[in-house]
């Protein structure tokens, strides 16, 4: 059986990592999803999703900073919209992650959280969830 839903994420900066862990955990509970897999999918070409440390906010800030250092905006990119760096970063991080749901809860590691990764904001974005039991 598969069940789907979506959330909206509003970003405030061009590059921003936003923890969406609590919102996804809330949907797991609200939808009474018990044992299975939840896929978190970002349907945008200039944003992504990742799982990483959620205890120290400096980790997300460092990832955001390093992503901008690794692939800065540049007039040398040929894409006319001026956001090729955002497309490249989104490909690096990827558009989906999967998390095991066990006994109605996300089965993440002690320090893990799920992050929406904005690379071309500020914008209002969608995140799709599909639960399969």
Phi and psi, residue 90, nearest 5°: -60, -40
Q: At 125, which CATH number?
A: 2.60.120.460
Tally of domains in the chain: 1
Mean pLDDT for the stretch of residues 6-14: 98
Give the CA distances from residue 1 to residues 36, 62, 117, in Å, rounded to whole numbers and listed in that order: 10, 39, 29
pTM value > 0.85: yes
Separation CA 113–CA 90 (nearest Å): 18
Mean pLDDT for the stretch of residues 63-73: 93
Higher per-residue confidence, 35 vs 81: 35
* Domain hosting residue 43, numbered range: 2-132
């Amino acid at each position: 059986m598969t069940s789907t839903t979506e959330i909206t994420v509003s970003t405030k900066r061009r590059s921003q990592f936003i923890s969406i862990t609590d919102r996804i955990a809330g949907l797991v509970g609200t939808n009474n999803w018990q044992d299975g897999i939840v896929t978190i999918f970002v349907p945008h070409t200039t944003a992504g999703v990742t799982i990483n440390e959620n205890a120290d906010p400096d980790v997300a800030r460092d990832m955001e900073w390093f992503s901008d250092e690794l692939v800065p905006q540049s007039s040398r990119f040929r894409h006319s919209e001026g956001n090729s760096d955002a497309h490249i970063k989104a490909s690096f991080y990827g558009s989906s992650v999967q998390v095991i749901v066990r006994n109605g809860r996300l089965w993440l590691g002690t320090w893990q959280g799920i992050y929406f990764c904005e690379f071309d904001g500020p914008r209002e974005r969608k995140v799709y969830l599909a639960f399969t039991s």
